[in-house]
Amino acid sequence: MGRISKLNHFIAVSPIGRYFKLDGSPSSSSREGTKFTTEVRAGIATFITMAYIISVNATIIADSGGPCKCTSEINKFCIGDENYEKCLETIKHDLITATALISCIGTAIMGIFTNLPIALGPGMGLNAYFTYTVVGYHGSGKISYQVALAAVFLEGLLYIVLSIFGIRQYLARIIPMSIKLAAGTGIGLFLAFIGLQKSTGIGLITYEPSTLVTLGGCPQQEFDSITGKCLGHKMESATTWLGILGFIIMSLLMLYKVRGSVLIGIILVSIISWFRNTAFTYFPNTPQGNDRYEFFKKVVNFYPIQNTLVAMKFDFSDSEIWFALMTFLYVDILDTTGTLYSIAKFGGFIDDETGDFEGSTAAFICDAISISIGAVFGTSSVTAFVESSSGISEGGRTGVTALVTSICFGISIFFIPIFASIPPWATGPALVIIGSMMLRTVKYINWEYIGDSVPAFLTIILIPLTYNVAYGLIAGIGSYLIINITIYIIKILSRGKIEPSKKSFRDNWGGDGLSESDVQRLSNSANPVSPWLIQLHNRFFNRKNDDDKNQFRHIIHISPPEVKKDVINDENVERVVNDYSDDLTYITNETTGHLNNV
């Protein structure tokens, strides 16, 4: 037995191995093939693929201005204002620490309490909605940064309640499938749009009064910071071309399936930008550039959260905050539900009969708790990251993977000067890449039926063009209701004689776009009530008094098909009862008669 095998065996038989159900552990439900060293490798892989959020999220949230105040009457966004820019740099440092810290804590909570290899962090798209829609660029919106954080905090608490009582899945089903898919696509375009702009990306597009946007890419000295226009010399900016190079590098690395493609691209562009006295330096010979360089030279330094910690302000006098709160909640429900189930399906954790995965309720509660903790630190909603699938593909199957990822995020907290020195033209390409990945869902939208396709298109196009996720959802849901209610009224008035074309292609509302057989299967097997409530009810209110049946009181539902088949065969009833008596399941009607005869 080699050293690695000995280490795997030692950990497996330890209390750690038993708790996380590693292969070879004393646990009766150990997960086959899970090894400690494999879980460690998987956790590192997950961190590498999602480490980019530390700088990207901080850059986006800092665009809200945080608690910094812009007092200029002429320069609305205080662009170029030395004092305001200095305040923003401080806020960005706070947010880098906050992002790494909440990713560390949230991922650890997820790993410990769900035993799933899923990592958490501030959600891309949700942070853009928080910054550019709710608070506004440099605080130009109707709601302050502090009040918006309070809304996120309350959203987390509401999410906990909804998850505990099993209401979350109902809310997720209310939205038509076409709108759900379109929302992800629209947010992808939104992120790409942000990554192409001057202040938050590579500067490829800038403002133009007649057309709203136009081709940019001008050097800093040719950029009017007040109007946001390029005065000339378009596509001559060294930083724009460096950002384009970064985009090409990321794309090629992803094409060849290199782990951490986005992170590698960000690092390469950043390293090039750290050389001083160049046209693409992030440390120009200006007071602000010199301050950045002095902070960068510290390399290893713990930077405590100073200005964004517990910055919440519970002032809900403005009706806009309630609208923002509900949008936060709904977008997060859709995002987290979709991401968690996608990851669970990729990892093979989904039960084909119930359509659910082990520890789903705990996973949603962990996510909700992390949302509220993140708001305390000063960042937007936290969610499960689809990049967790990279760790799963490396063999991660337990919470050990998540704990390793958490430790990596914890270590990154001590390298804040490095993450604070990543320029926007390094993170901008990452936003465009992420946006392109989110557009994959557009192919699943039902384009054959106008009642589904038109609302989906309105959602997609209005999210980036209005710079508002909520407006896109309102347009999509509103048009869906108007179109389909009108169709229903016409059907009633015509007594079913007038039907829309291609009616058979329409999605089932509430069925998540599944076939009728799938919907029927799920409705028969998946109980909408939270599993822990079912167990609690059966524990205290569904006891059997007959001593001959007492051994079945913990059986709630025998779901595996092979079990049902065995139970129906009288010869195997006793063996099945012995094998499955510990399952917390409900005895189905088709097996009750056989069990009563034992």
Q: CB-hemisphere CA count at 13 Å for 559? A: 19
Predicted confidence pLDDT, tens digits, the chain (598 residues): 688 888 988 999 999 999 998 988 887 788 888 899 999 988 998 898 788 889 889 999 999 999 998 877 777 778 777 888 889 989 999 999 999 999 999 999 999 999 999 999 998 878 988 998 889 988 888 889 999 999 999 999 999 998 888 787 677 667 788 887 888 788 889 888 988 988 778 999 998 888 889 999 999 888 887 777 898 889 999 999 999 999 999 999 999 988 778 888 989 999 999 999 999 999 999 888 898 899 899 888 888 999 999 999 988 777 778 888 888 888 788 778 767 876 777 777 877 776 677 888 899 999 999 999 999 999 999 998 877 877 887 888 899 999 999 999 999 999 989 988 889 899 889 889 888 888 887 888 889 899 999 999 999 999 889 877 778 888 998 999 999 999 999 999 998 888 888 777 777 665 444 444 444 444 444 444 555 555 555 544 444 444 434 333 333 333 444 444 444 444 444 444 444 444 433 333 333 333 333 3
- Whether 249 and 396 have beta carbons less than 8 Å apart is answered as no
pTM for the model stands at 0.71
Q: Six-digit token pair at 264?
A: 């590698």
Residue among 539, 576, 568 at smallest CA distance from 556: 539
Angular region, 14: left φ>0, alpha ψ -120 to 50, beta rest: beta
- Whether 237 and 224 have beta carbons less than 8 Å apart is answered as no
Helix intervals (H) in 378-466: 388-393, 399-412, 416-420, 424-438, 450-465
Q: CB-hemisphere CA count at 13 Å for 244? A: 12
Geometric angle at alpha carbon 437, from 436 and 440, rounded to 5° = 95
Q: Which residues pair with 207 in a beta bridge?
A: 213
Secondary structure of residue 405 in the 3-state scheme: helix
pLDDT at 565: 43
Q: Which residues pair with 212 in a beta bridge?
A: 208
pLDDT at 534: 55
CA–CA dist 469, 130 (Å, integer): 10
Residue among 418, 436, 425 at smallest CA distance from 187: 436
- Whether 60 and 274 have beta carbons less than 8 Å apart is answered as no
